[in-house]
Structure 1
Amino acid sequence: MGELWIGVTGFYATDNPQPGLAVVRALRRADPSWRILALPYDRFDTGAFATDLIDAHAFVPRPRAGAGLLLDRFRALVRQQPLDVVIPTLDAELPHYVALRGALRRLGVRTCLPTSSALRAREKRRLPSLGPRAGMAVPETVVLRSGEAVHRLSSRVCYPQVLKGALVDSAVVHSAEDFRVAAAELAARWGYPLLSQPVIPGEEYDVAAVARRGELVGAAVMKKLGVTNKGTAWAGVTVEEGGLVEATRRLVRALRWDGALEAEFIRAVDGSTYCFEVNPRFPSWIALAADAGADLPAALVRLALGEEVEPLRAKPGHLFARAVVERVFRGNPLGALEGRGVRAGAVAVGGGAPAAVSPAPAGAGPAGAVAITGLNAADNPSPGLTVANALRLLPTPPRLIGLTHEILATGAYMEGVWDEVRLLPFPSREEGGYQRALVEHCREARADCLIPTLDIEIPLVARLAPALAAAGIGTLLPDPESLGAIAKPRLPALAVMGFRLPRTEALAVFGELPAVVGRLGMPFVIKGPFADARAVWTEEEARVIARRLAATWGFPLIAQEYIEGEEFGVAAVADPRHRVVGSVVVRKEIRTLNGNTWGGSVVEDRSLRALAERFAEALAWVGPFELEVIRHPRRGPLLIEVNPRFPAWVFLSAGAGANLPWAAVRLARGERVTPLTPRAGVFYVRMAWDAMAPVERMGALAVEGKVNDVAA
Structure 2
Amino acid sequence: MGELWVGVTGFYATDNPQPGLAVARALRQAEPSWRIVALVHDGYGTGAFADTLLDAHALLPPPSAGPRALARALRALTRRHPLHVVIPTVDAELAHWIALGPALRALGVRACLPGAAALRAREKRRLPALGRRAGIPVPDTLVLPSAAAVARAAGRGPFPQLLKGPLVDSVVVHSPEDFRVGAAELAAHWGYPLLAQPLIPGEEYDVAGVARHGELVGATVMKKLGVTGKGTAWAGVTVAQPALVELLRRLVRALRWDGAIEAEFIATADGRAYCFEINPRFPSWIALAADAGANLPAALVRLALGDEVEPVRGRPGRLFARAVAERVFAGNPLAALAPGRVHRHLLDPPAPTRAPAPGLAAPRGVPARGAPAGAVAVTGLNAADNPSPGLGVARSLRAAPQPPRLVGLTHEVLATGAYVDGVWDEVRLVPFPSREDGRYPEALVAQCREAGADCLLPTLDVELPLIVWLAPRLAAAGIATLVPAPEALARVAKARLPALAADGFRVPRTLALGGYPELARVLGELGLPCVLKGPLADARVVASAEQATVVARRLAATWGFPLLAQEYVPGEEYGVTAVADRAHRLAGTVVVRKEIRTLNGNTWGGTCVRDRALERLAARFAEALAWVGPFELEVIRHPRRGPVLIEVNPRFPAWIALAAGAGANLPWAAVRLARGARVGPLRPRAGAFYVRMAWDVTASVERMGALAVEGRVSGHVA
In 1, Cα distance between the equivalents of 2:457 and 2:652? 9
Which of 567, 583, 587 is the equivalent residue of 1:561?
567
Mapping of residues 18-167 of structure 1, within 5 Å: 18-167=18-167
Matched with 1:407 is: 413
Matched with 2:213 is: 213
In 2, Cα distance between the equivalents of 1:429 and 1:642? 23
In 2, Cα distance between the equivalents of 1:614 and 1:117? 64
Matched with 1:327 is: 327
For 1:158, give the aligned amino acid: P
Mapping of residues 480-629 of structure 1, within 5 Å: 480-629=486-635
Alpha-carbon contact 1:28-1:53 (below 8 Å) kept: yes
In 1, Cα distance between the equivalents of 2:437 and 2:275? 47
Alpha-carbon contact 1:329-1:352 (below 8 Å) kept: no
Alpha-carbon contact 2:228-2:385 (below 8 Å) kept: yes
Matched with 1:310 is: 310
Q: Structure 1 residue 497: deviation in Å?
A: 1.0
For 2:474, give the aligned amino acid: L
For structure 1, which runs of at least 5 residues remain unmatched after alignment?
A: none
Q: Structure 1 residue 40: deviation in Å?
A: 1.1
Residues 1:265 and 2:261 aligned together:
no
For 2:452, give the aligned amino acid: R
Q: Taking every aligned residue pair, what percent have the same amino acid on both sides?
A: 72
Alpha-carbon contact 2:419-2:717 (below 8 Å) kept: no
In 1, Cα distance between the equivalents of 2:153 and 2:424? 50
Matched with 2:641 is: 635
Residues 1:433 and 2:439 aligned together:
yes
Alpha-carbon contact 2:334-2:346 (below 8 Å) kept: no
In 2, Cα distance between the equivalents of 1:363 and 1:497? 44
Matched with 2:707 is: 701
Q: Deviations over 1:303-332 (max 9, x none)?
A: 000000000000000000000000000000
In 2, Cα distance between the equivalents of 1:523 and 1:365? 55
Matched with 2:10 is: 10
Q: Deviations over 1:651-676 (max 9, x none)?
A: 00000000000000001111110110
Residues 1:475 and 2:481 aligned together:
yes
In 1, Cα distance between the equivalents of 2:213 and 2:193? 30
Alpha-carbon contact 1:566-1:630 (below 8 Å) kept: yes
Which of 449, 465, 469 is the equivalent residue of 1:443?
449
SS at match of 1:476: coil
Q: Structure 1 residue 348: deviation in Å?
A: 4.6
SS at match of 1:334: helix
Matched with 1:198 is: 198
Which of 342, 349, 353 is the equivalent residue of 2:349?
353
Q: Structure 1 residue 364: deviation in Å?
A: 9.7
Matched with 2:662 is: 656
Alpha-carbon contact 1:205-1:266 (below 8 Å) kept: yes
In 1, Cα distance between the equivalents of 2:430 and 2:135? 46
For 1:301, give the aligned amino acid: V
Q: Deviations over 1:109-133 (max 9, x none)?
A: 0000000000000000000100011
In 2, Cα distance between the equivalents of 1:42 and 1:635? 32
Alpha-carbon contact 2:421-2:715 (below 8 Å) kept: no
Q: Structure 1 residue 134: deviation in Å?
A: 1.1
SS at match of 1:347: strand
Q: Structure 1 residue 345: deviation in Å?
A: 4.1
Residues 700 and 363 (structure 1), Cα distance of their counterparts in 2 relative to 1, 3 Å cut: closer
Matched with 1:280 is: 280
Alpha-carbon contact 2:513-2:561 (below 8 Å) kept: yes
Matched with 1:180 is: 180
Matched with 1:464 is: 470
Alpha-carbon contact 1:2-1:33 (below 8 Å) kept: no
For 2:156, give the aligned amino acid: R
Which of 307, 317, 339 is the equivalent residue of 1:343?
339
SS at match of 1:551: helix
Q: Structure 1 residue 2: deviation in Å?
A: 5.0
Q: Structure 1 residue 365: deviation in Å?
A: 9.4
In 1, Cα distance between the equivalents of 2:717 and 2:119? 44
Residues 82 and 455 (structure 1), Cα distance of their counterparts in 2 relative to 1, 3 Å cut: same
Q: Structure 1 residue 356: deviation in Å?
A: 3.8
In 1, Cα distance between the equivalents of 2:215 and 2:716? 41
Matched with 2:361 is: none
Q: Structure 1 residue 710: deviation in Å?
A: 2.5
In 2, Cα distance between the equivalents of 1:207 and 1:481? 53
Alpha-carbon contact 1:9-1:20 (below 8 Å) kept: yes
Alpha-carbon contact 1:5-1:37 (below 8 Å) kept: yes
SS at match of 2:319: strand
Residues 307 and 563 (structure 1), Cα distance of their counterparts in 2 relative to 1, 3 Å cut: same
Q: Structure 1 residue 430: deviation in Å?
A: 2.1
Alpha-carbon contact 2:372-2:405 (below 8 Å) kept: no
Q: Structure 1 residue 51: deviation in Å?
A: 1.3
Task: Please report the TM-score for the alignment, with normalisation by the length of structure 1.
Answer: 0.98
For 2:349, give the aligned amino acid: A
Alpha-carbon contact 1:165-1:195 (below 8 Å) kept: yes
In 2, Cα distance between the equivalents of 1:711 and 1:311? 29
Q: Deviations over 1:205-259 (max 9, x none)?
A: 0000000000000000000000000000000000000000000000000000000
In 2, Cα distance between the equivalents of 1:567 and 1:709? 36
Q: Structure 1 residue 346: deviation in Å?
A: 5.9
Q: Structure 1 residue 350: deviation in Å?
A: 3.3
Residues 672 and 365 (structure 1), Cα distance of their counterparts in 2 relative to 1, 3 Å cut: farther
Residues 670 and 399 (structure 1), Cα distance of their counterparts in 2 relative to 1, 3 Å cut: same
For 1:5, give the aligned amino acid: W
In 2, Cα distance between the equivalents of 1:16 and 1:111? 26
Alpha-carbon contact 2:569-2:636 (below 8 Å) kept: yes
SS at match of 1:343: coil
Range 600-609 or range 2-11, more displaced:
2-11
Alpha-carbon contact 2:238-2:314 (below 8 Å) kept: yes
Which of 376, 384, 393 is the equivalent residue of 1:378?
384
Task: Please report the TM-score for the alignment, with normalisation by the length of structure 2.
Answer: 0.97
In 2, Cα distance between the equivalents of 1:371 and 1:283? 35
Matched with 1:224 is: 224
Alpha-carbon contact 1:80-1:347 (below 8 Å) kept: no
In 2, Cα distance between the equivalents of 1:619 and 1:348? 50
Residues 235 and 124 (structure 1), Cα distance of their counterparts in 2 relative to 1, 3 Å cut: same
For 1:312, give the aligned amino acid: V
Alpha-carbon contact 1:2-1:34 (below 8 Å) kept: no
Alpha-carbon contact 2:699-2:717 (below 8 Å) kept: no
Matched with 1:665 is: 671
Matched with 1:676 is: 682
In 1, Cα distance between the equivalents of 2:456 and 2:560? 28
For 2:250, give the aligned amino acid: R
Matched with 1:234 is: 234
For 2:56, give the aligned amino acid: A
What is the total number of aligned residue pairs between the two structures?
707
SS at match of 1:44: coil
In 2, Cα distance between the equivalents of 1:188 and 1:442? 49
Which of 679, 686, 694 is the equivalent residue of 2:692?
686
Residues 364 and 696 (structure 1), Cα distance of their counterparts in 2 relative to 1, 3 Å cut: closer
SS at match of 2:333: coil
For 2:245, give the aligned amino acid: V
In 2, Cα distance between the equivalents of 1:365 and 1:38? 41
Residues 82 and 671 (structure 1), Cα distance of their counterparts in 2 relative to 1, 3 Å cut: same
For 2:459, give the aligned amino acid: T
Matched with 2:362 is: none
Residues 1:255 and 2:261 aligned together:
no
Alpha-carbon contact 1:11-1:45 (below 8 Å) kept: yes
For 1:216, give the aligned amino acid: L
Q: Deviations over 1:157-200 (max 9, x none)?
A: 20000000000000000000000000000000000000000001
Which of 449, 453, 459 is the equivalent residue of 1:453?
459
